[in-house]
Structure 1
């Protein structure tokens, strides 16, 4: 076996072992899991998530997921907690402690302190019989038979299991809260993801020029309008309503079928009943229309009145594509 085959073999083996461990977690979802999620849902406080080592990194990721899906959460490193960060915990907060073994020295110091505060404690551990498993009010068992590491030492499968269990909690809470894509957009205003959730057609048309001609506009002026507005298209508008569209393609077809432009009007070469979209529609819906119809531009309208053009390049520039 050469090095390339060896790499592929080990990679597939790692993925298969972790997938098997994750599949097993489904059998560990029980009434206690439901009770733990219900306790968080009914709590008036936040979720404080703590851990040590690699489990701390997983805790930080779960905190980020909860915050972005409507459950206020705070990360607290287990080592820092016993040196002042316990002040993060408020009366109504619920604490989730993550530890594969459930028996690390930091966890054994931290757990009694949390219990003294009388906060609800949820343990995520692979070892229900551990100190954490015995002391927690609720245990979310993230059992794994072994790590993907060939020495069964480096946290691999176990941290993946912890993360999946945290995701399961977060998604359950999302459903219970009725957290919608509009709510999600409020917490993700930046980047391409945010734009897909909040950017609307009028946000794009307001930045573009607004090419338009009347049905009686002569072809020379149509070409001038399209050239000046630089969108490769113009709307044909009558009484503020869209009655047609002229694209670069329409102009090229005109050149192949007419020896003279004399007397030609916009109405003679326009395409009737062009695709249009509401000015208040989501930009991602405009992209879907463009892709479905194999076109590059859409005309926007507001209650039938022409408002501008959405070009596929606009969506690319905004990061929607």
Structure 2
């Protein structure tokens, strides 16, 4: 039996690998800059078209372009624009039924000649739905069917063979991100709205409102300025999570001061026991830092860290006490927040 000739092995050093990887990244970055410089008011036309309609944005594309379309669809949805992905091959087998008269189509194809997309376009036109295309040329089949074309231009794929979709899909993604985020800004989409769509992620947790995680007023030790320190700690004992702070209020339920465990410890260390039966107003911290109940949790954490506080009274817009944020309640909500880095609030 004859054996196959032995193949020579060409060593591909790390230097060569890094050089090729950098060239690929640089070539894609250069393509994005080129596309960005060439971008004109057609993007504004696409924004106006989408915002003028009450339906969803329907993304469609085949293969790698379809995968990019799914990512753009997710970006639109998470930044305030309803969107869905429609597979072009499945569309002609019944999924066209998901389309609504107020929807807008956003179709992706670098060549603009993808067979499945070409079969779908006449059906969309028959339904009189406007089409926005992300494609290389306005003269392609897709480009000719569109009301607005976001043109990528003639881009070369990255890599030695320039075959695998790489630069073109990167450009599609960047164009989709630009469109999505410009629309989001035009809608006035806020960080708190973003948090509503991302309740499970770190971003959503950071942007959670204070009133969703604070201890309500019923679980906070609250007293008047005339109450003695001893009574404040003995009489105001509460079940459940213990906080090291007593919040002092006036007759209008507005915060006038705070007295903490560290304040009590200081009195005992300095042998000022006689003050335990004096009004708490004599030793409380006046005009303590507070935070409004509609602020974000991230804002509260930043304030706790910056002021080196352990407790933060929560007030409404009228400055009335509604609750309390304790450092033990928020440890773990944001990376890098450690109990050791936050000291007690002192008077």
Q: TM-score, normalised by structure 1?
A: 0.81
The reply on whether 1:295 has 2:306 as its aligned counterpart is no
How many pairs were matched up?
A: 320
The reply on whether 1:251 has 2:264 as its aligned counterpart is yes
The reply on whether 1:39 has 2:49 as its aligned counterpart is yes
What displacement does 1:182 show? Answer: 5.1
Deviations 1:7-43 (A, max 9, x none): 6655544433332222222123223333233222223
Change (3 A) 1:237 1:169: closer
Report the more deviating stretch, 200-209 or 89-98: 200-209
- Alpha-carbon separation, structure 1, partners of 2:222 and 2:332: 23
The reply on whether 1:50 has 2:60 as its aligned counterpart is yes
What displacement does 1:304 show? Answer: 4.7
Determine the structure 1 residue equivalent to 2:330. Answer: 315
- Alpha-carbon separation, structure 2, partners of 1:213 and 1:5: 70
Query: Conserved in 2, the CA contact under 8 Å of 1:205 and 1:310?
Result: yes
Query: Conserved in 1, the CA contact under 8 Å of 2:219 and 2:238?
Result: no
User: Between Structure 1 and Structure 2, which shows a larger proportion of helix residues?
Assistant: 1
Query: Conserved in 2, the CA contact under 8 Å of 1:202 and 1:280?
Result: no
Change (3 A) 1:212 1:121: closer
Deviations 1:178-209 (A, max 9, x none): 33445545544554434544523365122883
**Unaligned 5+ runs, structure 1:** none
Query: Conserved in 2, the CA contact under 8 Å of 1:65 and 1:167?
Result: yes
- Alpha-carbon separation, structure 1, partners of 2:36 and 2:22: 22
Query: Conserved in 2, the CA contact under 8 Å of 1:233 and 1:246?
Result: yes
Give the RMSD, CA atoms, in angstroms.
3.5
Determine the structure 1 residue equivalent to 2:167. Answer: 157
The partner residue of 1:270 within 276, 281, 284 is: 284
**Unaligned 5+ runs, structure 2:** 1-10, 338-347
- Alpha-carbon separation, structure 2, partners of 1:73 and 1:214: 54
Determine the structure 2 residue equivalent to 1:232. Answer: 244
Query: Conserved in 1, the CA contact under 8 Å of 2:106 and 2:134?
Result: yes
Change (3 A) 1:250 1:85: same
Change (3 A) 1:247 1:83: same
Change (3 A) 1:172 1:273: closer
- Alpha-carbon separation, structure 2, partners of 1:294 and 1:83: 62
Counterpart secondary structure, 1:33:
helix
The partner residue of 1:90 within 74, 85, 100 is: 100
Determine the structure 1 residue equivalent to 2:109. Answer: 99
Query: Conserved in 1, the CA contact under 8 Å of 2:35 and 2:153?
Result: yes
Change (3 A) 1:218 1:316: closer
- Alpha-carbon separation, structure 2, partners of 1:70 and 1:212: 41
Report the more deviating stretch, 216-225 or 303-312: 216-225
- Alpha-carbon separation, structure 1, partners of 2:267 and 2:154: 69
Report the more deviating stretch, 189-198 or 291-300: 189-198
